Each structure stands twice: as C-alpha cells, then as structure tokens.
A and B are shown apart, each in its own frame.
Chain A
Amino acid sequence: MKLDRRSFLSFVIGGAAGTALTPLPWKLTDDLSIWTQMWPWTPVPPDGAYSYVSTTCTLCPGGCGIQVRLVDKRAVKIEGTPGHPVNDGGICPLGLSGLQLLYGPSRVDGPLKRTAGRGAGRWTPISWDDAIGEVAQKLAALRGDGRPQAVAAISGSGRGTFSALVERFMTVYGSPNLMRPASAADACEMALYRMHGQQAMAGYDLENADFVLSFGSGIIDGWGSPVRMIRARSLWKERKVPLVQVEPCLSNTAAAADRWLAVAPGTEAALALGLAHVILSEGLYDYNFTAFYSAGFEPWRQMVLDGFAPDQVAQITGIQKDVIVDLARQFAKARAGVALWGRGRGTTPGSIDEAMAVHSLNALVGAVNRQGGVWALPEIDYIQWPEAEMDATAANGLQTARLDGAGLEPHADARSLAHRFFTAVAEGKTDPVEALLVFEANPLYTQPDTATVKKALDKIPFIVSFSSLQDETSAYADLILPNHLYLERFEDVAGPAGLNQALIGLTQPVVAPQRRTRHAGDVILALSQGLGTPVADAFPWESFEACLEETLGDDWDALVANGYVARPVSLPHWSSAFGTASGKFEFAGTYRPAPLEGDKGAFPLVLVPYDSMRIAGGTAANTPFMTKTVGDEILKGNDMFVQVNPQTADSLGLREGLYAELSTPRGKARVRIHLTQEVRPGLVAMPRGLGHTAFDPYLAHKGVNVNALLGPVDDPASGLDAAWGIQAKLAKA
C-alpha cells in the first residue's frame, strides 16, 4: 500500500466529508464571530449597583449642581442636578467631562519634591509627613525671624470656608500678602462698593428682564454661570426679550444677539455715557430714584451732558448717532431693562470707569435692586468663627504694606491686585518674598505676561503648590502637596457668579481619593499644628470636614442630601439699601481710556483675546473631550489660528492658513491665519485657554497661550488690570 496522489486526495476528501459532519466548522465559526465582536482587549466596564451623589461643580465660579452617577464605587457620568436653582439639570462641556480630570493622566500622584532645576520635571515622591514637615519648618523659620510677611499666598477659590481658612491662616501667621487671581469679580465688587457702599456681588435677575444690553459680556460664551446664562438666552428668545451686544468681534453671543454693535474696542464706557446722555437729555430716567435715593447725580449728569453727546460718542465708538439715540430710548423705555458688564467670560477685571458707567445706566433707569435688574447681594455670612488671637509677630507682620498695594493709597478700596504683586516681585522692588503658597490657582498660565510671572517666581526661593493636577505653576514649584480633586473632597460654594439668590452649594466626595492626595484644608490644619501656639490655637478643628460641618451648622444635613441650600434674599428698599456716606446710591463713572501697551508704529494691530465655551480659560484647563469640540479654524493639530479681517490680511500680504509670527511688546508666537469678517479690521482675535505647557499630552503644546503675549495695564482709577488687548504685529513666518 502506497500513499500516492490519489490516495492522498482520497484521504483529504474523506477528511473534508468527515469534518462537515462534526461540530468543528460550525462551532469555530460561532466562536470566531463572538471573538471578533467582543475583542478581548476592548475594555468592558464592570457592572454593579447604580447610585447618584449630589454635589457642586467647582471648575468655574458658576456653582452648578451636579449629580454624579456611580456604578459601585466608580464614577461614570456627571449630569446636571434637576431642579437646581442655578442649572436645573443642565451642564456645560467642562462640567460634563470632569471625570477625564478625575481619572486622567495629569493628576499628581502624591506629595512631590523637586530634584532638578525648576520646570525640569524631575521629582521624587515623599511622604505626607515629610512634605508637611518641610513646609512647617520653612514657615516656622521665617516666623522665628520675625518676617511672616515674607510668605505670600494665592487662593483661587475666592469665597467659602476653605478660602476663609487660608485667610485665617495667613492672618494668624502674620502675612497680609494673600491674593486671589484677578477676574471681573474684582471690578464688580469694587464698583458696587463705590456706588452702593457695601461689599457685595452683583446678582442679575435676568429671567425677569425685558431688555438686555450687554457690554461685551459673553452671555453664551461662559460669562457668569454658563448654564444659567444659556438658559436665560433661550428664555429671552421665547419671550422676545431683545439682547443687544456691544462688542468689537462677532462672538457667539454677538451672533445670537438681536442686535450687534461692533464698537471700537476699549470705548464701551464712552458708548454707555452716550446712551446716558440721550436718556438724561430726553428725560427718560427714573426721577424717583435719581431725586431721592442717589447722590452726586447733578455733577455726573453735567459731566455726561457736557462731554458725551451722541455725535461726539459716535466719533469715539464708531457707532452711528441714530443708533445710539434709538438704543438709548429702547433701553430707557423698557419696563425692566438691564445692562451687563465684564468682557467675555469675565477673566480680567477691566476698567472700573467702564463698570461704573454701565452700572450708572442701570441706576438711571431704576434697575438697581429691582425685579429684572441688578441686585447687590452681600456675602452670605455663615462663616462665624471666634476672633483669632494674634501674637506680636503676627501683628507686626500684618502692619507691613501689602506687596500688591491693595488696600493702600492710591488703591485703598482694592482687595487684591495679583498682577501688581508679580510685577513688583519680578522687578525686585519689594522686600523679598521667601515663600509662596498656591491654592487652586495657576498664575504661571492665567496671569497676563507669563514671562514676568516666571521672573517673579524665579525670585521666590520656596514655592509650594497644592494643585491636584500637573499645571504650569506646580510644574515650576519646589514642592507639590496635591489636594483632592473636587470630586473627592468637601468644599462649600457660596453665591454662584451673577446669580440673584443667596445659595450655598456643597461639594462632597463622590469617590474615594484616587491618588495619594490630601485635602488642602487638612494640610493647613496640620501646618498650623506644626507651627504651634498661637497659630495652632486659631484652628480648633480636627479636620476640614469637621470645620465645614460646624461652620454650616443646621444646613449641613440638607446640604449633604441635596447638594445646596437656598437662603431667602430680602431686597431692601432704596431708602435703606446703600451703605455710602450719604446713605444713597452714588453716581460715578466716566470715560478715561487706559492706553494700550505698545508702540503703534512698531505694533500697528491690536490683539484681543476671546472666550469660548469649548475652551476652558481659567485655572481649570481643557479636558480632552472639550479640545475635540474645538473647530479646525481655531486649532488644527498643534497649530492655532488667529482671526483676522481679510482687509487687514491683504495689507500684510497674508492669506488663509498661512503661518505668521504674531508679536507684541510682551512676547511672540507662531500662529496661522484665519480670515473672517467677524473681526474688525486692525484687530487680531485669539482664543484664551490654549497653549498649555503642562498637564498631559492631550493638552500640552496645543496652540499658544494668549497670556504670554498680553501684559497688564494698571487702571489709574482702581489699580486693577484694565488691559483688554495689546498692540501687536503680524508678519509672514
């Protein structure tokens, strides 16, 4: 018997016939199809019990209520809390994608100590005891030297118990140098302080307004509490409430407005006064309010009538006289007209004159503390701690002048001037700063003129960052003591931006800490213990959670269950609403344009930043999800586009998509050109929030940080940073 060709074929045929009668081919087909539909390497989320935790988002000052969906102990989705007074179930792209921050690669794993030059990114993990010990030792040494004022701190959260704890720590320690990152809230507070005589925040009754005049406020670009503002805009559309947007570029808000006035940038205050001129000269103002409840009306009226006639204003602003007259009449005749200020998202303070000029318009039509108007809401006073005892070292330290000049002449009513602090330190004009503590802030990215901030940081020998994420400032610090992320910690949010309600939101842990982090409040308590009496005596609490629970008192249970409590707002009658010396509303505000930085000959164009809901521009940076929503005309690969009018581009020989070098007196950057009629000729518009150098590969090195090109400009009337742009030059690259 020989295995020849025929036998072999026969064997194969027999085998094939036999195989067809076994389950092998059918079972293999089935298994392979299951395998290809469910690749074993495709992650399948584990199943478990579903639950929700109600908490408050702290990624922006908006204070939205969020519900985090959990499967067992894992957070899988963030949704808006239905029925919440701020956002009623809505959520913005940043809030929605917060889990990418929680589980993402830019978290700081645990306490880190720098091992190579600053910014080199070489760290060694250390224990929490060592980390706290090292900071406490440094602070104790400075205090022992009698120089507690050489410690400065920046605290980004602004209000609430944590912020009060930092303030108390700095006070008892003996340093006046506590700052917060600059924002439009600074100008808003100051304007209300000057005109109403009280420390208050503006709450806008937008849902009841019937005419909205916005001086550059990004209603749907992130101003105030973004979700609430987008809702309000829809409501106005439904009720046919006109929205008039005064803004040099066609922002999303301007595009969605009923009327867009493309004002010459920086002349908004002049337009407000021009409108006031028409209202005053035609007698359209609220006689009752101006006659009985206001002071300084006559001289202000005279100033407006003398200097801001519509034809004069038309020349300054580029808005036609007829348009000004017509708009003023509409605004004054509306039952509940309201004027808003704060450019874009409200990242920079801006000129105090402008804020006051716009608020004077509100006063003229009686919109102050009125339904559908602007309400001055005093801070909710639930933080009632006993006065802390201070020793002589602290008292002496506190008597030294603040390094940023806030609270001192000529800026006596400023509470914080962060940009002046960095400039002063960088220029070496101050007593040396020996240590800087950074809480929930990223000044090396968010402060205008990052080169100066870096120079200032270089002069500070000891920088401690408490950031949960690897941001620019923590990358440049000496020690990182990472805080829990907002989904892992307790915190309270008092009074969401622009809301006309006295609301306290509670942020509470949704998941257990994912990394070796510790609540910055607990670290402050530990530091105070490390410093001993009398600093330690001012902090009797066992933990930050205990401190918060005691501070919030009877509201605690409701806060834990619902995520917020609303206190009733009583609007005082005009006769008792104002805390000024006269007891009345003080009219103020004129037009004194702060000069733009830069020589117009060398830098013929003007760079203006703009805000978008798709790009987080503050301390919270973009999530990968958000960056994906940014269009190709803004960011393509790592290239960022600046928006230029075709007329401007023609004169420079630039075409769509070309690379160009954008330079300003503060820096230069390589950008690409996008031609659009949405920008006035002579302007270069650039998004705020790109060009990070830290964080993770999903964000770093995408585009250019506009703050590297901008510089602060001191507002002579307030000391705040009044810059809204900078002279710039574009050239082919």
Chain B
Amino acid sequence: MSIKDDKAHAVSDAAAGKKGGGTILLFFILGFAASMVLGWVVFPQLLYSTKSQPFDFNHALHNEEVGDCESCHFFRQDGTFSGVPSLAQCTDCHADVLGESQDEAVFVQQYVHPEREVPWRVYSRQPDCVFFSHAAHVIKAKMDCATCHGDIGTSTSLKPYQENRITGYSRDIWGQSIAGFKTHTYDRMKMDDCAQCHEQAVEAARQAEMMDPVTRHFRQEIAPMIYPLDRQAAVGSSVQTQRDACFVCHK
C-alpha cells in the first residue's frame, strides 16, 4: 500500500465521520437502551423461576383459630426456635380432613396419611453460613415477627415462591425490587438489613451510655490506663454490631 492510498483513506474516513456522527450516537443509545431493558426487565425474569408450594395455606384462618404466631412457630424448651411446623404439630388437629378445601384434602392424603413431612419452600430461608438466633431478637429484644417477616400472618394464601436460579434461595431475601430499594423493614433480608437495625441499636446504646457520667468517665479515662492494649478489642471489630468475633453472625 502506498502513502497516497493511506491519505485517501483518511480523507474518506473523516468525511464519513461527519456524516455518521448521528449514526454512532444512535447506536450508543440503542446499546444503552437494550442493556437497560436487559438489566431491569429481562434479567430479573431470567434470574428467578417461579415455583408453587405443595399446597396452599391460609395463615389468617389459622391465626384466628389458634390466636397467635407462637402457637405454631414456638420456642422449644432449650430456647431454640421451631421454625416451620413439623407434620406432627399439624396432625395434632389435622389427623383427618377438617375443612372442605381442595388443599386440605391434598395435605391429608399426600402428607398426613403417609406420614411425610411437607416440603415447604421457605421464603425466609437464609444460607447455611448465617447464624441467626430468634430468641435473641424475639424474646430478649422483644421484636415483633412482622418486623422481619411482614404481614404473612394475615395472608389468606401463599404467594408463589420465586427461586433464585443461581443461589437457590428465595427472592424475598434480596427483595422484590431488583434495585434493592425497600420501603418496609421486612422488604429485604440481606446482611445490610441486619446491619441497618444493629447500627441504630448500637448508636442508641452509645447515647444512653454517654448520659451516665460515671460509666463515661470509666470507659474514656480509666479503662485505657488500666488496659492500654485492650482498647481495640473492647470496642469490637464489627462495624454493624460492635461484636468482637465474626462467628457471632457468620458460621
């Protein structure tokens, strides 16, 4: 190729550039728009598969019958939380078909009589590495179930279970909003949501402590003199919870 040819090319390219400025911008916008559609609309559709529960369950009805959440979702004697009721609990009342609904018939025929546990899909199931104590939150801190679980207790049917195809957990952990926005405390169940509440609690505790002059004096003036090396540890390494060890929350 000669030098002349190169020059000729450069000239024609420049001409085309002037001509195609709009085209390039158009393609930019096209790409931008396509990816926005992909990211905001298509991706969430692809990410989650919708699965149904073994049969429908009416929380509101049961709540009326038994009175409160604790009758079925109770704390055991050793303080552990029972979670989703086992078949044995259900059969206390449902040894045979009680109502007339189709779901009840499915329940009794497919699970009660063959003594098979119901394979419920649990919306709030956390990964195995999460250590969470219901007792610390519900009994000690006196939190309501609804703070984290929402108004499921008043629902008349179970919503479809949206399973994350990658992780296998429910969509409710990340939240219905793919952008991660939330309006209620129970909209998401990620670590940031734990942290949000804990940060508030830590701040409140700090404020309360500051108001007690004796404690404040001891913490700020005397303790560092007695235990100069312990200061870091005493504060706690977790930003969110001020706990000293990772394993308090992470198994």
Chain A residues near B (Cβ < 8 Å): 1-4, 6-8, 10-19, 21-24, 27-28, 30-32, 34-35, 37-38, 40, 44, 47-50, 72
Q: Which residues of A contact B78 (CB under 8 A)?
A: 50
- How far is A85 from B30 in the complex, measured between Cα atoms in Å? 81
Q: Which residues of A contact B164 (CB under 8 A)?
A: 31
Cβ B127 vs Cβ A38 within 8 A:
yes
Cβ A18 vs Cβ B83 within 8 A:
no
Cβ-defined partner of B168 (8 Å) among A17, A27, A40: A40
Q: Which residues of B contact A32 (CB under 8 A)?
A: 166
Chain B residues near A (Cβ < 8 Å): 17, 20, 23-36, 38-40, 43, 47, 76, 78, 80, 82-83, 86, 127-129, 164, 166-169, 174, 178-180
- How far is A19 from B128 in the complex, measured between Cα atoms in Å? 31
Cβ A7 vs Cβ B23 within 8 A:
yes
Q: Which residues of A contact B43 (CB under 8 A)?
A: 22-24, 27
Most buried by A among B24, B30, B174, B179: B24
Cβ-defined partner of B32 (8 Å) among A6, A15, A48: A15
How many whole Å from A404's CB to the nearest CB in chain B?
A: 50
Cβ A34 vs Cβ B167 within 8 A:
yes
Cβ B27 vs Cβ A7 within 8 A:
yes
Cβ A19 vs Cβ B24 within 8 A:
no
| Residue of chain B at shortest CB distance from A31 | B166
Cβ B168 vs Cβ A22 within 8 A:
no
- How far is A2 from B76 in the complex, measured between Cα atoms in Å? 71
Cβ-defined partner of A23 (8 Å) among B76, B82, B129, B179: B179
Q: Which residues of B contact A14 (CB under 8 A)?
A: 27-35
A23-B178, A37-B129 given; name 9 further pairs at CB < 8 Å.
Answer: A7-B24, A13-B28, A17-B28, A18-B34, A19-B38, A31-B167, A34-B169, A40-B168, A50-B80
How many whole Å from A183's CB to the nearest CB in chain B?
A: 42
- Can you spell out 27 A-B residue pairs with CB atoms less than 8 angstroms apart? A3-B27, A4-B20, A10-B25, A11-B27, A14-B27, A14-B28, A14-B33, A15-B31, A15-B34, A16-B35, A18-B32, A19-B39, A21-B39, A22-B35, A22-B36, A22-B39, A22-B43, A23-B179, A27-B43, A27-B47, A27-B178, A30-B174, A34-B127, A34-B166, A37-B127, A37-B129, A38-B128
Cβ B31 vs Cβ A13 within 8 A:
yes
The 3 closest A-B pairs by CB, nearest first: A22-B39, A14-B31, A18-B35
Cβ A19 vs Cβ B35 within 8 A:
yes
Q: Which residues of A contact B80 (CB under 8 A)?
A: 49-50
- How far is A87 from B99 in the complex, measured between Cα atoms in Å? 55
- Chain A residues touching B, majority SS: helix
Q: Which residues of A contact B34 (CB under 8 A)?
A: 14-15, 18
Cβ-defined partner of A38 (8 Å) among B33, B39, B129: B129
Q: Which residues of B contact A50 (CB under 8 A)?
A: 76, 78, 80
How many whole Å from B194's CB to the nearest CB in chain A?
A: 15
Cβ B179 vs Cβ A18 within 8 A:
no
Q: Which residues of B contact A8 (CB under 8 A)?
A: 27
Our count of residue pairs bridging A and B at CB distance below 8 angstroms stands at 105
- How far is A50 from B81 in the complex, measured between Cα atoms in Å? 11
Cβ A17 vs Cβ B24 within 8 A:
no
- How far is A19 from B78 in the complex, measured between Cα atoms in Å? 50
Cβ B38 vs Cβ A22 within 8 A:
yes
Q: Which residues of B contact A6 (CB under 8 A)?
A: 17, 20, 24
Q: Which residues of A contact B20 (CB under 8 A)?
A: 4, 6-7
- How far is A645 from B27 in the complex, measured between Cα atoms in Å? 85
Cβ B33 vs Cβ A18 within 8 A:
yes
| Residue of chain A at shortest CB distance from B83 | A47
Cβ B28 vs Cβ A11 within 8 A:
yes
Q: Which residues of B contact A18 (CB under 8 A)?
A: 31-36, 39
Cβ B32 vs Cβ A49 within 8 A:
no
Q: Which residues of A contact B31 (CB under 8 A)?
A: 10-18
Most buried by B among A3, A15, A40, A49: A15
- How far is A232 from B39 in the complex, measured between Cα atoms in Å? 70
Q: Which residues of A contact B128 (CB under 8 A)?
A: 38, 44
How many whole Å from B96's CB to the nearest CB in chain A?
A: 24
- Given that A15-B31, A37-B129, A40-B168 are known contacts, is A49 also in contact with B38, CB under 8 Å in the complex? no
How many whole Å from A375's CB to the nearest CB in chain B?
A: 41
- How far is A2 from B22 in the complex, measured between Cα atoms in Å? 12
Cβ A38 vs Cβ B167 within 8 A:
yes
Q: Which residues of B contact A23 (CB under 8 A)?
A: 39-40, 43, 178-180
- How far is A32 from B47 in the complex, measured between Cα atoms in Å? 12
- How far is A3 from B31 in the complex, measured between Cα atoms in Å? 13
| Residue of chain B at shortest CB distance from A24 | B39
How many whole Å from A20's CB to the nearest CB in chain B?
A: 9
Q: Which residues of A contact B36 (CB under 8 A)?
A: 18, 21-22
- How far is A594 from B20 in the complex, measured between Cα atoms in Å? 109
- How far is A47 from B125 in the complex, measured between Cα atoms in Å? 12
Q: Which residues of B contact A15 (CB under 8 A)?
A: 31-32, 34-35
- How far is A48 from B86 in the complex, measured between Cα atoms in Å? 9
- How far is A11 from B30 in the complex, measured between Cα atoms in Å? 6
Q: Which residues of B contact A31 (CB under 8 A)?
A: 47, 164, 166-167
Cβ A1 vs Cβ B23 within 8 A:
yes
Most buried by A among B29, B39, B80, B86: B39
Q: Which residues of B contact A11 (CB under 8 A)?
A: 27-28, 30-31
Q: Which residues of B contact A35 (CB under 8 A)?
A: 166-167
Q: Which residues of A contact B23 (CB under 8 A)?
A: 1-2, 7
How many whole Å from B40's CB to the nearest CB in chain A?
A: 5
How many whole Å from B87's CB to the nearest CB in chain A?
A: 11
- How far is A28 from B178 in the complex, measured between Cα atoms in Å? 11
- Given that A14-B30, A19-B39 are known contacts, is A49 also in contact with B178, CB under 8 Å in the complex? no
Cβ A22 vs Cβ B40 within 8 A:
yes
- How far is A342 from B204 in the complex, measured between Cα atoms in Å? 69
- How far is A14 from B23 in the complex, measured between Cα atoms in Å? 13
How many whole Å from A10's CB to the nearest CB in chain B?
A: 4
How many whole Å from B37's CB to the nearest CB in chain A?
A: 9
| Residue of chain B at shortest CB distance from A32 | B166
How many whole Å from A719's CB to the nearest CB in chain B?
A: 56
Most buried by A among B32, B127, B168: B32
- How far is A34 from B174 in the complex, measured between Cα atoms in Å? 12
Q: Which residues of A contact B167 (CB under 8 A)?
A: 31, 34-35, 38
How many whole Å from A628's CB to the nearest CB in chain B?
A: 24
| Residue of chain A at shortest CB distance from B190 | A30
How many whole Å from A5's CB to the nearest CB in chain B?
A: 11
Cβ A49 vs Cβ B174 within 8 A:
no
Q: Which residues of B contact A38 (CB under 8 A)?
A: 127-129, 167
| Residue of chain B at shortest CB distance from A17 | B32
- How far is A102 from B78 in the complex, measured between Cα atoms in Å? 27
- Given that A31-B164, A37-B129, A49-B76 are known contacts, is A10 also in contact with B169, CB under 8 Å in the complex? no
Q: Which residues of B contact A27 (CB under 8 A)?
A: 43, 47, 174, 178
Most buried by A among B40, B129, B166: B166
- How far is A27 from B165 in the complex, measured between Cα atoms in Å? 12
- How far is A12 from B30 in the complex, measured between Cα atoms in Å? 9
Q: Which residues of B contact A37 (CB under 8 A)?
A: 127, 129
| Residue of chain A at shortest CB distance from B22 | A1
How many whole Å from A68's CB to the nearest CB in chain B?
A: 16
| Residue of chain A at shortest CB distance from B35 | A18
Q: Which residues of A contact B83 (CB under 8 A)?
A: 47
- How far is A11 from B76 in the complex, measured between Cα atoms in Å? 60
How many whole Å from A695's CB to the nearest CB in chain B?
A: 32
Q: Which residues of A contact B178 (CB under 8 A)?
A: 23, 27
Most buried by B among A2, A6, A13: A6
Cβ B35 vs Cβ A10 within 8 A:
no
Q: Which residues of A contact B39 (CB under 8 A)?
A: 18-19, 21-24
How many whole Å from A591's CB to the nearest CB in chain B?
A: 60
| Residue of chain B at shortest CB distance from A45 | B128
| Residue of chain A at shortest CB distance from B84 | A47
- How far is A15 from B33 in the complex, measured between Cα atoms in Å? 7
Cβ B82 vs Cβ A49 within 8 A:
yes
- How far is A19 from B36 in the complex, measured between Cα atoms in Å? 6
Cβ-defined partner of B27 (8 Å) among A10, A17, A22, A47: A10
How many whole Å from B90's CB to the nearest CB in chain A?
A: 15
